[in-house]
Amino acid sequence: MTKIKINSARTKAGSTPQLSILIIGGGASGMAAAISARKGAESRGIKAGACKITIVERNPGFGAKIRISGGGKCNVTHEGSPEEFLLKGFMRLNEQRFLRNAIYGFSGGDLLDLLLSKGVTTEIRPDGKIFPDSGEASSVANAFERMLSDAAVEEISSCRVLGVERVDNRFLVTLPGATLMADAVILATGGVSYRKTGTTGDGLAIARKLGHTIIEPSAALTPLHTTHPLSSSLSGLALRSCSLVAEGKGKRVGRRGDLLFTHRGFSGPAALSLSRDIGELLKESGRISLFVDLFPEQSPAELDRLLLMQGRKNGAQMVRKFLQGCPIAPPEEGFSTSPHGTIPTALVPMILRHAALESEVTWSTLQKEKRVALLGVLKKFPLGTVRELSLDAGEVSAGGVCLGEVNPKTMQSRVVPNLYISGELLDYAGEIGGFNLQAAFSTGWLAGMHAAKSLALPERPGTP
Ligand SMILES: Cc1cc2nc3c(=O)[nH]c(=O)nc-3n(C[C@H](O)[C@H](O)[C@H](O)COP(=O)(O)OP(=O)(O)OC[C@H]3O[C@@H](n4cnc5c(N)ncnc54)[C@H](O)[C@@H]3O)c2cc1C
């Protein structure tokens, strides 16, 4: 059994804390909550010794997910104003609305300033993603750990919280072999993907028991595994700026972006982003057909006109040769070069096969019905069938504590006073690009700040 490690805060000897705030989960959200709780207490003139802030983490160390994020480089946030951030990072209006206060209250700029205060400089990539200059995710996690220590936060690691109960307007928090009392609890236990990082859904059970509604977790930002992968020889190919479409039971969802072929199916921004919608569609239909539109800028009629023009100008050209250099998603009329790259050569024989074209056919020998078949395949190239998604393999999970039951201005539960809920445990899921970490930091920051600012100072002495 792992030994519980307690890193006692530097509180004044002999002082009795008047307030105690306990944070469950030492990830991005929990650490931000602990640091801002201290700032909130200080802003009320409450000294460190009078406000005990404790963070409990089941792993031996803090920030396990931060350390593996962004392929070990940590895409910590995304550039842009809070409004742009919300629009780009969150597909659903209710999520954008819910997160607005948190993102305005603790923006990407605030996060970068905080990191800079600990010597972590960052760079903005051309696509808007922001990473630490060090190229090391650990620099971000370590900076937060230093901030915990500066904020005199009591850190308890290797300790799994087993339960939380409301007793006499306070909280009784059960640990293995011990209990703690707290005036406020911040639940920041994360989602349920990548369970090996400690996120096994404990917070969901705790929140449910305290009276919260839980939206059943589902996969998000997860690779798509098809039942019969197209061909292992395609693994590693990328289709730039295509449109990925999923269909099931008469419903259709799609996403524009880059698509990566893997040995088990598909990954890349379009696949990862669409996975959440696919997960929901799967609940209704049990199987999903995937397609890619290689010409998302053109309607079928426009594409047909372009194919006809190409045939008239280059009658002797083999259709196969044309496809091999054909830009994906050409932005203008005509097959001018496109910034998005071309149809990969390895895909061309499959396109011909699906359209039932011989490999040597030229434009001048291409009959109308064959051209129409080609058009159909270019607009809707079949990629196979998805029957299930891996919840665990996702960068995040969707679902969690119902947003309507949490006050978005404070992150305080509307069900249990002085209970705060933050981070991925809540029912939101952001896109790839630094949106999820920022949302975890921002909601945690808001929760910590309000927990410390709004707690009434009791007469009694009380220690957690
Ligand atoms: C492989 C991978 C790569 C990612 N890359 C990025 C990226 O580059 N950019 C980005 O924005 N997002 C990324 N994400 C998503 C991002 O890491 C998460 O959304 C974010 O860390 C969520 O923060 P959180 O604090 O809410 O939860 P977590 O970081 O998951 O923290 C929750 C913590 O609570 C602890 N805990 C759980 N139950 C208990 C309990 N009973 N008692 C005590 N402690 C408990 C867990 O051990 C965990 O440490 C990535 C995720 C993964 C898996």
From residue 343, give the alpha-carbon distance in Å to each of 76, 304, 349, 453: 33, 17, 11, 57
Mean pLDDT of 345-356: 94
Cα 65 to middle of ligand 1, angstroms: 4
**Does the structure show a pLDDT above 70 at 335?**
no
Segment 434-446, tens digit of pLDDT: 999 999 999 999 9
Stretch 37-47: mean pLDDT: 95
Q: CB of 303 closer than 6 A to ligand 1?
A: no
Output 326 or 287, whichever has higher pLDDT.
287
Tell me, what amino acid is at 1? M
CB < 8 Å & 24+ apart, contacts of 368-377: 371/304, 371/307, 371/308, 371/311, 372/304, 374/307, 374/319, 375/300, 375/303, 375/304, 375/307, 376/300, 377/351
Residue whose CB lies within 8 A of the most ligand 1 atoms, among 31, 392, 437, 441, for a mutation test: 437
Mutating to test ligand 1, I would choose from 99, 127, 157, 189 the residue with most ligand atoms within 8 A of its C-beta, which is 189
Q: Is residue 132 lining ligand 1, measured as CB closer than 6 Å?
A: no
Count Cβ atoms below 10 Å from residue 459 Cβ, excluding itself. 7
The dihedral built from the CA positions of residue 68, 70, 72 and 73, taken in this order, carries a sign that is negative
Dist. CA 83 → ligand 1 center (Å): 24
Higher pLDDT, 101 or 9: 101
pLDDT attached to residue 7: 78
The mean pLDDT value for 291-299 works out to 93
**Residue of 6, 36, 62, 65 to test ligand 1 pocket, by largest number of atoms within 8 Å of CB:** 65
What separation in Å is there between the alpha carbon of 264 and the centre of ligand 1? 25
Residue 100 scores a pLDDT above 90: yes
Atom of ligand 1 nearest to the CA of 29: 25
- Alpha-carbon gap, residue 163 to 176, rounded angstroms: 10
Residue 176 confidence (pLDDT): 95
Split at pLDDT 50, 70, 90, the class of 11 is very low
Mean model confidence pLDDT for the chain:
93
Question: What was the pLDDT predicted at 252?
Answer: 95
pLDDT for 292: 96
Q: Is the CB of residue 41 less than 8 Å from the CB of residue 180?
A: no
pLDDT > 90? residue 129:
yes
pLDDT value for 151? 98
pLDDT given for residue 285 in this prediction:
87
Q: Is the pLDDT of residue 341 over 50?
A: yes
Atom from ligand 1 closest to the CA of residue 434: 11
CB atoms within 10 A of CB 372: 14
Q: Which atom of ligand 1 is nearest to the CA of 191?
A: 30
Confidence (pLDDT) at 457: 78
Q: Whose CA is nearest to atom 52 of ligand 1?
A: 395
Rounded to the nearest angstrom, the distance between the alpha carbon of 246 and the centre of ligand 1 is: 28
The answer to whether 137 and 66 have CB atoms below 8 angstroms apart is: yes
User: If you take atom 4 of ligand 1, which residue's CA is the nearest one?
Assistant: 69
Report pLDDT digits (tens) over 375-428.
999 999 999 999 999 999 999 999 999 999 999 999 999 999 999 999 999 999
24: Cβ below 6 Å to ligand 1?
yes
- Percent of the chain residues topping a pLDDT of 70: 93
Task: State the distance from the centre of ligand 1 to the C-alpha of 51, rounded, in angstroms.
Answer: 27
Question: Between the CA of residue 454 and those of 378, 443, 448, what are the distances in Å?
Answer: 59, 16, 10
Q: Does residue 343's CB lie within 6 angstroms of at least one atom of ligand 1?
A: no
- Which domains are present in the chain? 16-219+392-454 (3.50.50.60), 224-294 (no CATH), 300-384 (1.10.8)
Answer whether 160 contacts ligand 1 (Cβ < 6 A).
yes
User: Could you tell me if the CB of 52 is within 6 A of ligand 1?
Assistant: no
Q: In sequence order, what are the beta bridge partners of 214?
A: 401
Helix (H) or strand (E) segment spanning residue 154 = strand 154-157
Atom of ligand 1 at shortest range from CA of 438: 11
Residue 433 CB less than 6 A away from ligand 1: no
Name the band, by pLDDT with cuts 50, 70 and 90, for residue 9.
Answer: low
Nearest CA to ligand 1 atom 46: 198
* Run of H or E residues at 178: strand 178-182
Q: How many CB atoms are closer than 10 A to CB 452?
A: 24
Whether the CB of 198 sits within 6 Å of ligand 1: yes
Question: Can you tell me the mean pLDDT for 439-464?
Answer: 84
State if residue 399 touches ligand 1 by the CB under 6 angstroms criterion: no
The pTM of the full predicted model, rounded to 2 decimals, is: 0.93
Q: What is the pLDDT of residue 342?
A: 83
Residue 173 pLDDT grade (very low, low, confident, very high; cuts 50, 70, 90): very high
Smallest CA-to-CA distance from 132 within 190, 80, 70 is with 70
Q: Is the pLDDT of residue 297 over 60?
A: yes
Q: 13 pLDDT exceeds 50?
A: no
pLDDT classification of 333: cutoffs 50, 70, 90: low
User: What one-character DSSP code corresponds to residue 318?
Assistant: B
In this prediction, residue 18 has a pLDDT band, given cuts at 50, 70 and 90, of confident
Question: Is it the case that residue 95 has pLDDT exceeding 80?
Answer: yes
Residues in the chain: 464
pLDDT of residue 233: 79
Nearest Cα neighbor of 125 from 440, 428, 427, 432 is 432
Residue 14 has pLDDT above 60, yes or no: no
Atom number of ligand 1 nearest to Cα 197? 47
Decide which of 191 and 234 is more confident: 191
Q: Whose CA is nearest to atom 37 of ligand 1?
A: 189
How far away, in angstroms, is 420 Cα from ligand 1 center?
A: 17
